C-alpha cells in the first residue's frame, strides 16, 4: 500500500519558537517514518513582509538548521526550500484564476494583517491561501501537520482542490486535512496573557528554540499573572490558564497537578510556579539549542541537504504539474 503523503512548511521570519515546535515541527519529526513526507521552508511566503536579501537568506538557512536540530532526516523526509520549486508558483497561478476576492478578503489571518499593517496590504497577502494550497497540492498531500491557527487555510485548500476537480471533471487533487497526533490542533499561548505565541505578540512573550537558559528564565518570570485566586475551585483567568498550558507542554503531570491543587485551594504562589516552569522549559529547550549550535557550522553538509531535497521535491512536483497542465488544456 502506498504511504499517505504529508506536506507542511514554516515561514522563515526569525528563529523558530515553542509554538512552531509544538504545533508543527515536533509532528514533522514523528511523521517521517510512517508517511511520505515533504517539509519545506516557506521562503516565498515570507516576501509579504519585504525582507532584505540578506535577511531572507540567513533566516531561511537558520530554519533549515532548526529542522535538522529537531530531528528531521533528509534521507527519510524530503526537506527543501519553497523557492527551489517553481512548479508551486505555476499551480499558484492556476488556483488564483478560480479564487474570488470575497472569499480571500474574509480570511481571518488576512483581516488580522490588514489591521496590524494597514500600509502593506499587498496582493501576496491576499492570495496567501492560494499559495499555501499550491504548496500542499503540488505533492497531492492528504495530511498537513499544523497548529490551530492554520485551520482556516486548510479549509480553503480543500475548497480550491474541490473547485478545480469540479471544474475539469477530474479527480486530480485530494482534500487534505490538518493533522495532529492528539485529538485537537495545538495553540501555544504567548507569555503576555493573551493571544498565541509568535512574532506578533512580541519577542518578550515568545520562547525561541535558540533562547539561552538565562533568557528563558527572565521571560517566564515576567510572564503575566495576577494576585491569585480568592475563592476555592474557581475557573482560571486567561493568563493563568496560559501558564498552566505551557506547564502541560514541558512539565510532568505530577508537577501540573501539584500547582493545580494549590490553585484550587487558593494557596498558589505564582513566583514558585514560574520558577518551576522556567526550569522545566530550560530542560525542554536546551538540547534543541545545543544541536542548533552544532549543526550551524557545517556549510557543506547543509548545501548537500538543500540539493538533495530540491531534487526529490521536483520529481513529485513535476508529475503533478504535468497532469494539471494536461487537464487544463495545455497539450501543445
Site string for ligand TYM, 41-60 (x = CB under 6 A): -x--x---------------
Instruction: State the Cα–Cα distance between residues 108 and 127, nearest whole angstrom.
Output: 13
Q: Which is nearer to ligand TYM, 71 or 262 (CB)?
A: 71
Q: Which is nearer to ligand TYM, 190 or 256 (CB)?
A: 190
**H helices present in the chain, as ranges:** 18-20, 26-31, 53-70, 86-96, 101-105, 108-116, 123-126, 128-137, 151-168, 213-221, 238-250, 253-264, 270-295, 299-328
Contacts of 3 (CB under 8 A, 6+ apart): 34, 35, 36
Minimum gap (Å) between residue 97 Cβ and ligand TYM: 19
CB under 6 A: which stretch of 70-78, 128-136, 250-258, 282-290 binds ligand TYM? 128-136
Q: Please confirm, yes or no, whether 196 is among the known catalytic residues.
A: yes
Report the alpha-carbon angle 239-240-243, nearest 5.
95
Instruction: State the Cα–Cα distance between residues 171 and 290, nearest whole angstrom.
Output: 46
Instruction: State the Cα–Cα distance between residues 278 and 233, nearest whole angstrom.
Output: 25
Q: Across the chain, which distance is largest between two alpha carbons, in Å? A: 76
Tell me the angle at which helices 253-264 and 238-250 cross, rounded to the nearest 10 degrees.
160
Sign of the CA dihedral with 248 first, then 252, 253, and 255 last = negative
Please report whether residue 143 would count as binding ligand TYM according to CB under 6 A: no
Please pick, among 140, 187, 199, 310, the residue that the annotation labels catalytic. 199
CB under 6 A: which stretch of 8-16, 64-72, 84-92, 263-271 binds ligand TYM? 8-16
Q: Please confirm, yes or no, whether 224 is among the known catalytic residues.
A: no
Contacts of 319 (CB under 8 A, 6+ apart): none
Q: Please confirm, yes or no, whether 199 is among the known catalytic residues.
A: yes
CB atoms within 10 A of CB 110: 18
Site string for ligand TYM, 174-213 (x = CB under 6 A): ------------xxx-------xxx---------------
Q: Which is nearer to ligand TYM, 19 or 229 (CB)?
A: 19
CB under 6 A: which stretch of 6-14, 91-99, 165-173, 253-261 binds ligand TYM? 6-14
Q: Which residue of 135, 211, 239, 280 would you call a contact of ligand TYM, by CB under 6 A?
A: 135
Q: Which residue of 74, 147, 193, 229 would you call a contact of ligand TYM, by CB under 6 A?
A: 147
Q: Which residue of 15, 20, 32, 48 would you call a contact of ligand TYM, by CB under 6 A?
A: 20
Please report whether residue 9 would count as binding ligand TYM according to CB under 6 A: yes
Q: Which is nearer to ligand TYM, 129 or 229 (CB)?
A: 129
Q: Which residues bind ligand TYM (CB under 6 A)?
A: 8-11, 19-20, 22-24, 42, 45, 132, 135-136, 144, 146-147, 149-150, 153, 186-188, 196-198
- The residues annotated with a catalytic role in the active site are 113, 196, 199
Amino acid at each position: 500500500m502506498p504511504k499517505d503523503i504529508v506536506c507542511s512548511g514554516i515561514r522563515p521570519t526569525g528563529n523558530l519558537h515553542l509554538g512552531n515546535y509544538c504545533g508543527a515541527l515536533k509532528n514533522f519529526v514523528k511523521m517521517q517514518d510512517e508517511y511520505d513526507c515533504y517539509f519545506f521552508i516557506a521562503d516565498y511566503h515570507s516576501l509579504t513582509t519585504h525582507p532584505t536579501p540578506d535577511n531572507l537568506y540567513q533566516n531561511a538557512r537558520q530554519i533549515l538548521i532548526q529542522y535538522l536540530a529537531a530531528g528531521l532526516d533528509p534521507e527519510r523526509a524530503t526537506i527543501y526550500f519553497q523557492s527551489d520549486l517553481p512548479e508551486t508558483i505555476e499551480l499558484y497561478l492556476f488556483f488564483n484564476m478560480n479564487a474570488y476576492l470575497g472569499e480571500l478578503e474574509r480570511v481571518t489571518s488576512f483581516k488580522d494583517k490588514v489591521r496590524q499593517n494597514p500600509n502593506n496590504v499587498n496582493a501576496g497577502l491576499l492570495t496567501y491561501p492560494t499559495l499555501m494550497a499550491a504548496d500542499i497540492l503540488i505533492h497531492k498531500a492528504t495530511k498537513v501537520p499544523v497548529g490551530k491557527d492554520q485551520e482556516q487555510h486548510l479549509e480553503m485548500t480543500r475548497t480550491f482542490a474541490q473547485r478545480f476537480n469540479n471544474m475539469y471533471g477530474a479527480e486530480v487533487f485530494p482534500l487534505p486535512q490538518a493533522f495532529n497526533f492528539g485529538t485537537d490542533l495545538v495553540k501555544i499561548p504567548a507569555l503576555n496573557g493573551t493571544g498565541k505565541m509568535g512574532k506578533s505578540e512580541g519577542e518578550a512573550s515568545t520562547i525561541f528554540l535558540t533562547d539561552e537558559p538565562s533568557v528563558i528564565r527572565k521571560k517566564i518570570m515576567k510572564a503575566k499573572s495576577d494576585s491569585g485566586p480568592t475563592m476555592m475551585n474557581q475557573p482560571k483567568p486567561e493568563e493563568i490558564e496560559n501558564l498552566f498550558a505551557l506547564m502541560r507542554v514541558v512539565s510532568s503531570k505530577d508537577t501540573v497537578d501539584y500547582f493545580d491543587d494549590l490553585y484550587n485551594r487558593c494557596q498558589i504562589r505564582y513566583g514558585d510556579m514560574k520558577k518551576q516552569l522556567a526550569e522545566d522549559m530550560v530542560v525542554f529547550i536546551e538540547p534543541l539549542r545545543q544541536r542548533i549550535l552544532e549543526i550551524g557550522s557545517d556549510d557543506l553538509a547543509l548545501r548537500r541537504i538543500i540539493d538533495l531535497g530540491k531534487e526529490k521535491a521536483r520529481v513529485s512536483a513535476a508529475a503533478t504539474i504535468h497532469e494539471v497542465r494536461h487537464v487544463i488544456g495545455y497539450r501543445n
